[in-house]
A and B are shown apart, each in its own frame.
Chain A
Amino acid sequence: METRDRITTTELIIIVVNYVLAAGVFTLPRTTVERAGTPDVWISVILGGLLSMITGLIIARLSQRFPGQTIYQYSGKIIGRPLAILLGVVLIGYFVCIGSYEMRNVQEVTVFILLEGTPGWAIAGIFMWVALYLCRGGINAISRMCRLMIPITWTVFFGVSLLSLQVFDINNLRPVLGQGMSPVWRSIKPTALTFTSGEALLFLVAFMDKPKKTMKVVVSATLIAMVFYIVAVVLCIGAFSVDGVVTRTWPFIDLIRSFEVNYLVFERFESLWLTIWIMQIFCTFCIAFYGAALGLSQLTKIPLNHCLFALLPVIYIVTEIPRSLNGLFAFGAGIGNWSFFLFGVLPLPLLIIARLRGARS
């Protein structure tokens, strides 16, 4: 029987949600509260989600004009070959950096909590080899992996969140809008960066069997991801208050460490949650890895499998570039700014030019 290289609307929603949900949960409470200084950041998360939804919709519109083609293939029709190659290289670099960022997060958190003393390269190596193996199965393999992970990771996430309600204090979230809207606006930037979903659509829509429904994908995926981030932010602030969140490197992990449960099989959940969330990050890593390799393969006409191999050391080296944890967070912020320009600003002119030139596939 023939193999399907198409994904349905639901499958794409799941992929995009998996792409958006990643290491951001560890740090988002801190990055937002640092900028806002008030507990209202959950409003920023909602607004940031809506904002990224708008950029996602623009990207969706753009992709819909070229069904069955990825950005690497169709950008040449909009802005000409030389610029398109430049854009492609930048995009590949972006996906490599996303992959490296997630990889490095896994490394740091694992060394910190799970495996003290295990060298980073060993942790990265096994992670990337499994990802390589999965990605060689193509987009359908990644899509299935995302669907396989969802019941596990979501159950554990919400289960642990429920358990953490015992340290939750609603007073930490008050007063709402005590300093007006200005802190809320300030902290939108890190949230929007955490869940830009549009970049994945740039190449994923090409695999869709019904590209007309891309809008639905953007809206549903962003809303689902938003729920997770709101839960993370609200719970962390509720447990630690604004001042407590700022001082913690990974507030959400600290949240899970901060309580013990005597009536279940496990008493402490941070290792369990962390291992489960590593699976979630694995999905994000694979999607970014696949996106970068796909771009490389379509730009250079090298078979996809070879590109996957070629990118392996590149991602690893980029992973090791940040010298310290602070370097890593600076790296994350850098990627964020980059993505803000690439996916917040750039798609609109592209869409307008495409419309003016009447470019379609």
Chain B
Amino acid sequence: MMWSVITGWFPGWSVMFQGLILLIVPIVITLTVDWIRTFEGKVSKRGQKAKAALNKDGGATSLKGTKGAEGTKSNKTTFIAGKDDSGGSGNNDEQENPDQSYTGNVDKDLRLFKEISSDMADVNIRELRIGALQIKAVLLFVDGLTDKDSMDRNILRPLMNAVLPFEGMTEAPEAEELKRIIVERIIHVSEIEYTIDPVKSLKKVLFGSAVLMVDGMKELFVLGTPKGRTRGGEEPVSEALLRGSRIGFNETLSDNTAMLRRHGQNTELAMISFTVGKRVEKELVLTYIRDIANEALVEEIKRRLLTIDIDDVQESGFVEQLIEDDFLSPFQQIQNTERPDRVMAAMLEGRAAILLDGTPFALIMPVTFGMLLQSPEDYFDRWMAGSLLRTLRFFAALVSLFAPALYISFLSFHPGLIPTKLVISIISSRQGVPFPSLIEALIMEVSIEILREAGLRLPKPIGPAMGIVGGLIIGQAAVEAGIVSPILVIVVAVTAISSFAMPMYSAGITLRLLRFVAMFFAAVFGMYGVIMFFLLLSSHLIRLKSFGVPYLGLMVPSHLRDWKDFIIRLPLHLLKRRPALLKPKDPIRKG
């Protein structure tokens, strides 16, 4: 009796098998993802080990990041690639005697220096004698990197003409005294560093400083900072605004930090310097506002920066990818920008930014979803205009993500949902189309993506012309040839335009990528698939964090007041608080 009831309930072996499949698939996916993630784990573990050795290095607030690390580094730095024309033919001999240091005898030291710089023809060596006492000295610099004019004026001439400082002396004073005289009374250079490490002195020379070697002194003077080529702060191409400052970051770190400083007088703007890259060292500056940014956030960023373990950080994109939370997510968890005003605005909300030497792209973190659809203009315009633009952008993001998917699901599964007349006209226009709607949409989407990618590389004068040829003529021809329906051309065009409404180019790329996924979901499951895709995407965004801050935090805030500055931007008078999500030290903005 009992048994028959149970067997009566038994749903059949096929259901059991389906249940098993249902279990196995996610397990396999999870294991694969975990396995991929172990790579990141390994990397960061190694990074942590390196950090333990260099613990004090990154925290140093000096703008010259390598201080204090010589002890550990001189043993590790075994290889210095030549900069500029030296051809990068790193010399392997030098690493055989890394313990060498300068002796104080100019002739010996110069020989040592020549040895380690043997393959670098652009290193200039200028011998001279200092002042009345005729002390032997050598000035080392690289042609083209050092500002020769000012070097002649401020270093060479005062040194050679120095008579007064040595008045009453008959022979060269002690090293300490000599150093004091040279620094305090002779050289007209504001920035001076000292080093006794040959490798470091070479590094400085190669990066553009003038290095002075004086007989009787073990220490070398590193004079001045390099003056490489730089360009002015032009208007950023990727983030143009109608209203707002016209200045963008450039490739020189000091210019960029200066732009932030020049934003306004503020004594709380912290700039912490790090050195990244093992083979090619670069300076990186972490900046935030001391009395706003959450300390835990800053500590976490510092910790992650110290785990960077790569030979050369070529662009800030490297930093972004190496310190982001989840490298398997299609969404960027760190925002890049060329605009100083955007960086300042983010810092005033309690975020932090990273500037890297050699790139105009600064990184802002943590990122929340809303930021990808916001533009500084929203705040510069009056609140109604700002709110309208934001609402439009949100709508555009939705269109850009879902429009082709909805087209596919409406046509393939639910023609009953749209007005009958429209269905009839779509169906009649699709009469000659030989493909299912997915293939049809894919053809158009892929070709427009190719067109966009090609348009990026075309020379400027041809670009718009090709756009017209590609967009108009091919679209028209495809319709007339009966490959696609005219409605689809409209859908694809609207989608493409919508994706350009994203203020962040890289956010637009994410949407473009996800659009294809959405199309496949729609082709298999129709509207149900689109909804499931939406739920999957939401689940992912909900679980995603950027530096511990929930990515969707502003969309589903714990307090409704965080919504005041989300899709709608309320008047500035009402925006009294910084986003509570970032846990700023000073939550009140005004009033």
Q: Which residues of A contact B (CB under 8 A)?
A: 1-3, 8, 10-11, 110, 114-115, 118, 121-130, 132-134, 136-137, 140-141, 144-145, 147-148, 262, 265-269, 271-272, 275-276, 278-279, 282, 309, 312-314, 316-317, 320-321
**Contact yes or no, B9 A316, CB < 8 A:** no
Which of A123, A145, A271, A316 touches B19 (beta carbons < 8 Å)? A316
**Contact yes or no, A309 B27, CB < 8 A:** yes
**Contact yes or no, A134 B543, CB < 8 A:** yes
- Chain A's closest residue to B24 (CB) is A313
**Contact yes or no, B528 A115, CB < 8 A:** yes
Taking the closest CB of chain A, its distance from the CB of B411, in whole angstroms, is 13
**Contact yes or no, B528 A262, CB < 8 A:** no
Which of B413, B525, B532, B555 touches A148 (beta carbons < 8 Å)? B555
Tell me the interface secondary structure of chain A in the complex.
helix
Q: How far is the CA of A279 from the CA of B547 in the complex (A)?
A: 29
Q: Report A-chain residues with C-beta under 8 Å of the C-beta of B534.
A: 279
Q: Report A-chain residues with C-beta under 8 Å of the C-beta of B525.
A: 115, 118, 122-123, 126
Which of B22, B297, B419, B547 touches A121 (beta carbons < 8 Å)? B22
Taking the closest CB of chain B, its distance from the CB of A13, in whole angstroms, is 13
Which of A2, A145, A268, A278 touches B542 (beta carbons < 8 Å)? A145
Knowing that A8-B558, A265-B418, A266-B419 are A-B contacts, what are 12 other residue pairs whose CB atoms are under 8 Å apart, sorted by A's residue number? A1-B296, A2-B296, A114-B526, A114-B528, A115-B526, A123-B525, A125-B22, A127-B532, A130-B539, A144-B552, A145-B542, A309-B23
Q: Report B-chain residues with C-beta under 8 Å of the C-beta of A320.
A: 11-12, 15, 18
Interface membership of B41, Cβ < 8 A: no
Q: Report A-chain residues with C-beta under 8 Å of the C-beta of B558.
A: 8, 10-11
Which of A125, A145, A267, A312 touches B539 (beta carbons < 8 Å)? A145
- Chain B's closest residue to A277 (CB) is B531
Give how many B residues have a beta carbon under 8 Å from the other chain's beta carbons.
Answer: 52
Q: Report B-chain residues with C-beta under 8 Å of the C-beta of A309.
A: 23, 26-27, 30
Taking the closest CB of chain B, its distance from the CB of A30, in whole angstroms, is 24
**Contact yes or no, B413 A115, CB < 8 A:** yes
Q: How far is the CA of A133 from the CA of B538 in the complex (A)?
A: 11
Can you list 15 residue pairs at the A/B interface with Cβ under 8 Å? A3-B548, A8-B558, A114-B414, A129-B26, A130-B536, A132-B26, A133-B543, A137-B543, A141-B542, A144-B552, A147-B556, A317-B16, A317-B19, A320-B11, A320-B12
Taking the closest CB of chain A, its distance from the CB of B250, in whole angstroms, is 33
Q: Report B-chain residues with C-beta under 8 Å of the C-beta of A115.
A: 413, 525-526, 528
**Contact yes or no, A148 B556, CB < 8 A:** yes
**Contact yes or no, A313 B25, CB < 8 A:** no
**Contact yes or no, A321 B539, CB < 8 A:** no
Q: Report A-chain residues with C-beta under 8 Å of the C-beta of B27.
A: 309
**Contact yes or no, B552 A130, CB < 8 A:** no
Taking the closest CB of chain B, its distance from the CB of A286, in whole angstroms, is 9
Q: Report A-chain residues with C-beta under 8 Å of the C-beta of B530.
A: 275
Q: Report B-chain residues with C-beta under 8 Å of the C-beta of A137.
A: 539, 542-543
**Contact yes or no, B527 A114, CB < 8 A:** yes
**Contact yes or no, A317 B11, CB < 8 A:** yes
**Contact yes or no, B536 A114, CB < 8 A:** no
| Top 10 closest pairs, chain A to chain B, by CB | A313-B19, A1-B548, A147-B556, A134-B539, A137-B543, A121-B18, A320-B11, A320-B15, A316-B19, A144-B542
**Contact yes or no, B417 A2, CB < 8 A:** no
Taking the closest CB of chain B, its distance from the CB of A259, in whole angstroms, is 13
Q: How far is the CA of A267 from the CA of B27 in the complex (A)?
A: 42
Q: Report B-chain residues with C-beta under 8 Å of the C-beta of A126.
A: 525, 529, 532
**Contact yes or no, A133 B540, CB < 8 A:** yes
Q: How far is the CA of A269 from the CA of B556 in the complex (A)?
A: 27
**Mask of B2-16 contacts with A, CB within 8 angstroms, 1/0:** 000000010110011
Known: A271-B527, A316-B22. A133 touches B539 (CB 8 A): yes
Known: A1-B549, A148-B538. A267 touches B417 (CB 8 A): yes
- Chain B's closest residue to A132 (CB) is B26
**Contact yes or no, B419 A317, CB < 8 A:** no
Interface membership of B416, Cβ < 8 A: yes
Interface membership of B420, Cβ < 8 A: yes
**Contact yes or no, A275 B538, CB < 8 A:** no
Q: How far is the CA of A118 from the CA of B413 in the complex (A)?
A: 11
Q: Report A-chain residues with C-beta under 8 Å of the C-beta of B300.
A: 1
**Contact yes or no, A279 B535, CB < 8 A:** yes
Interface membership of B386, Cβ < 8 A: no
**Mask of B286-311 contacts with A, CB within 8 angstroms, 1/0:** 00000000101100100000000000
Known: A141-B543, A275-B527, A309-B23. A268 touches B417 (CB 8 A): yes
Q: How far is the CA of A135 from the CA of B461 in the complex (A)?
A: 53
Q: Report A-chain residues with C-beta under 8 Å of the C-beta of B294.
A: 1
Q: How far is the CA of A8 from the CA of B527 in the complex (A)?
A: 34
- Chain A's closest residue to B527 (CB) is A275
Q: Report B-chain residues with C-beta under 8 Å of the C-beta of A147.
A: 556
Q: How far is the CA of A343 from the CA of B547 in the complex (A)?
A: 42
**Contact yes or no, B15 A316, CB < 8 A:** yes
**Contact yes or no, A267 B536, CB < 8 A:** no
Please indicate which of the listed interface residues B536, B558, B583 has the most CB atoms of chain A within 10 Å of its own CB: B558
Interface membership of B20, Cβ < 8 A: yes
Q: Report B-chain residues with C-beta under 8 Å of the C-beta of A141.
A: 539, 542-543
Interface membership of B550, Cβ < 8 A: yes
Q: Report A-chain residues with C-beta under 8 Å of the C-beta of B21.
A: 121, 125
Q: How far is the CA of A266 from the CA of B417 in the complex (A)?
A: 6
Q: How far is the CA of A11 from the CA of B550 in the complex (A)?
A: 16
**Contact yes or no, B542 A148, CB < 8 A:** yes
Q: Report A-chain residues with C-beta under 8 Å of the C-beta of B542.
A: 134, 137, 141, 144-145, 148
Taking the closest CB of chain B, its distance from the CB of A310, in whole angstroms, is 8
Known: A130-B532, A317-B16, A321-B11. A267 touches B420 (CB 8 A): yes
